[in-house]
Amino acid sequence: MLTTISLSLLVQALINGLLLGLVYTLISLGLSLTLGIMGVVNVAHSTLIMLGSYLALELLQRLGLDPIISAVVAVPVFFLIGVLLERLLISRVARTSQTTGLLVLFGVLVVIEGAAILRWTTDTQVLTVSYTNASLTLDGIAIAVPRLIAAVIALALVVLLDTFLRSTLYGKAIRAMAQNRDAARISGIDTDRLSLLVFGLATATAGIGGVVLAMIFPFDPQDHYRWLAWAFLVVVIGGLGSIRNTLLAGLLIGLIETVSSILFPFQYVYFIVYLLLVVALLVRGQGLAGSQSRAL
């Protein structure tokens, strides 16, 4: 009896971990894209995720829009935010100095976080929709419906982006730019415009990520650092240049989180993730430097 319960508990934890892992992959994609392709460490990434959550909240409260629809709305909105950020800030610094870029993006982080507190206060928010507490039960294994929906949206985006980068000419050009920017330029690719596209896409995934996270977790303007750490961990473990590896890393982090939250009190999960990130950065941080150094 005991063994069947703990077995089903384990299976449930595994399924939950994989579902969460898909969501973690989604929130890491943007960070991986900007770092891998443009060499920009976007520390403001998680504030964009947080804005995505508030977009879902506003759309739900004002227009009664389901977060599933908000995820679609987030695409153009956040694409535009990303394009503006790239044009106004990133394009001016990214290529001169990575550390100047970092300072600017810390500034962006501070501005967005401060503005979010001014607008929405530090109160914790929850998205409540009809299926918030619904769950599917199968053989004693319960799966929360919001997690399932969040995971499906995340999976769809991961597949879509992977296909885009692998199979379309634009995707190939983006990968070419990541591998050798100057060689891409002399082949006729307008790398400045392509960078706009990349940053727009990265920001759009952050926005959708925020909508999707809001379906499963409460949020406030300040707890986004957690997602910054989670996303960095996924990127550092998964490496740059392959969405499939990012997916594997995301699933791994999802599993680590659910398994360790069974074994330890929840706050230890933060400790474990931060510690893992410190170790991962020490082990392969510099190896992530990417191919930006390659130039004519």
Residue nearer to another protein on the CB measure, 152 or 288: 288
Closest distance to another protein from the beta carbon of 119 (Å): 10
Residue nearer to another protein on the CB measure, 59 or 194: 194
Residue nearer to another protein on the CB measure, 4 or 293: 293
Which residues inside 183-222 make contact with another protein, applying CB under 8 A? 183-191
Phi, psi of 36 (to 5 degrees): -70, -35
Size of the site for another protein (CB under 8 A): 59
d(CA 101, CA 108): 10
Site string for another protein, 156-175 (x = CB under 8 A): -------------x--xx-x
Buried b or exposed e, range 115-125, using 16+ CB within 10 angstroms? ebeeebeeeeb
List Cβ neighbours of 270 (8 Å cut-off, separation of 6 or more): 226
Among 110, 126, 134, 263, binds another protein (CB under 8 A): 110
Q: Does 76 bind another protein (CB under 8 A)?
A: no
Q: Which amino acid, residue 288?
A: L
Among 9, 61, 63, 106, binds another protein (CB under 8 A): 106
Angle at 103 between CA 100 and CA 108, to 5 degrees: 125
Residue nearer to another protein on the CB measure, 149 or 269: 269
Closest distance to another protein from the beta carbon of 258 (Å): 19
Among 7, 133, 262, 271, binds another protein (CB under 8 A): 271
Closest distance to another protein from the beta carbon of 89 (Å): 7
- Length of the chain (residues): 296
Closest distance to another protein from the beta carbon of 191 (Å): 7
Residue that has been written with the tokens 């925020």 in this structure: 210
Please report, as ranges, the residues that interact with another protein according to CB under 8 A: 41, 43, 89, 92-93, 98-104, 106-115, 117-118, 169, 172-173, 175-176, 179-180, 182-191, 225, 229, 232, 241, 267-268, 270-271, 274-275, 277-278, 281-282, 285-286, 288, 296
